[in-house]
């Protein structure tokens, strides 16, 4: 894959596969497909500092998720961060937002820094900082849109979010802002180190620990999750369709 259009063809296939097989990987796939569409439209509109470079970054970034998915589906082993997210998708007891955050955790905390560095081979990494932040902002905007409308598929969580007063992400031990800042720091470390394999292995080990906290957040949050899960939609297909509608509506309003 060398173009965003090629990426979107594969993303459509993954979304269809998840819908057909009732796979909760579809929750992240739906959201990420919308991110990719938004980046494509932004490139066509000339929104980024370097639009051809943004396409390279987006393709490299998307390919890390797609490759991880394909490895896992074929019985091989992707990075541990992605393996944990994929395995967790089999569990109907996790919340929709847990599944989304597990995918975002692997993709932002591990994949994004690597992709940014690979886009800037033999160049100064700081040159891509603006567009790096832009792609994070698009993802954050979509997640905020999902959270604002989560009461449809998760009535209890929708009721809890206003009570959290802006700290709702901490209900699930995950912050996109912290992930973004950490991803940029890691991009610099990865870019500067000639031992790329070590960097990926070491980072993956740390990010997989965050994934485990998302999966097993402790007694109090674990109890809260079980309580919230009682009222969540059980249909994977209907939930995917609702997420797609919300993400699309959020993008149209941006």
List, for residues 139-152, the tens digit of each pLDDT value: 888 888 887 777 78
Tokens of 61: 């970034």
Per-residue pLDDT for 236 more than 60?
yes
pLDDT at 102 over 80: yes
Which one has a higher pLDDT value, 180 or 227? 180
**Which 8-state DSSP code applies to residue 108?**
I
Average pLDDT over residues 12-25: 97
> Is the pLDDT at 179 greater than 90, yes or no?
no
What is the pLDDT at residue 226?
Answer: 77
Contacts for 125-130: CB closer than 8 Å, 24+ residues apart: 125/187, 125/188, 125/191, 128/50, 128/53, 128/57, 129/184, 130/48, 130/49
CA distance linking residue 99 with residue 230, whole number of Å: 16
Q: Dihedral of the CA atoms 125, 131, 134, 136 (nearest 10)?
A: -40
Q: Given this model, what pLDDT does residue 173 score?
A: 52
Output the pTM of the full model. Answer: 0.90
Mean pLDDT of 208-214: 92
Given a cut of 70, whether residue 168 has pLDDT beyond it is no
Give the separation between CA 156 and CA 227, rounded to whole angstroms.
8
Higher pLDDT, 252 or 84: 84
Q: Is the pLDDT of residue 174 over 80?
A: no
Average of pLDDT values for 166-193? 79
The CA-based diameter of the chain, rounded to the nearest angstrom, is: 52
Write the DSSP symbol of residue 107. I
Query: Cα–Cα distance between 157 and 237 in angstroms, integer?
Result: 20
Residues 6+ apart with CB under 8 A from 225: 93, 94, 95, 98, 172, 217
Q: Virtual CA dihedral for 83, 87, 88, 91, nearest 10 degrees?
A: 180
Range of lowest pLDDT (51-60, 166-175, 208-217, 236-245): 166-175
Is residue 242 predicted with pLDDT exceeding 70? yes
Q: What average pLDDT does range 47-51 have in this prediction?
A: 96
């Amino acid at each position: 894959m060398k173009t965003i259009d090629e990426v979107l063809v594969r993303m459509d296939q993954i979304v269809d596969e998840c819908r057909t097989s009732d796979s909760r990987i579809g929750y992240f796939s739906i959201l990420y497909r919308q991110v990719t569409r938004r980046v494509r439209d932004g490139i066509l509109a000339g929104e980024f500092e370097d639009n051809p470079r943004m396409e390279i970054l987006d393709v490299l970034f998307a390919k890390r998720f797609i490759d991880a998915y394909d490895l896992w589906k074929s019985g091989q082993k992707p990075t541990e961060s992605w393996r944990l997210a994929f395995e967790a998708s089999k569990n109907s007891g996790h919340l929709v937002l847990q599944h989304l955050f597990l995918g975002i955790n692997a993709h932002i905390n591990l994949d994004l820094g690597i992709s940014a560095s690979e886009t800037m081979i033999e160049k100064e990494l700081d040159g891509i900082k603006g567009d790096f932040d832009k792609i994070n902002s698009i993802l954050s905007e979509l997640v905020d849109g999902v959270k604002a409308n989560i009461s449809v598929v998760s009535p209890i969580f929708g009721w809890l979010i206003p009570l959290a007063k802006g700290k709702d992400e901490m209900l699930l031990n995950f912050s996109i802002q912290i992930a973004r800042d950490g991803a940029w720091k890691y991009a610099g470390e990865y870019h500067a180190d000639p031992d790329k394999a070590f960097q990926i292995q070491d980072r993956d080990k740390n990010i997989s620990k965050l994934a485990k906290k998302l999966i097993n957040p402790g007694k109090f949050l674990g109890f809260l999750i079980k309580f919230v899960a009682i009222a969540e939609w059980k249909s994977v297909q209907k939930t995917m369709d609702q997420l797609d509608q919300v993400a699309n509506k959020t993008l149209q309003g941006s």
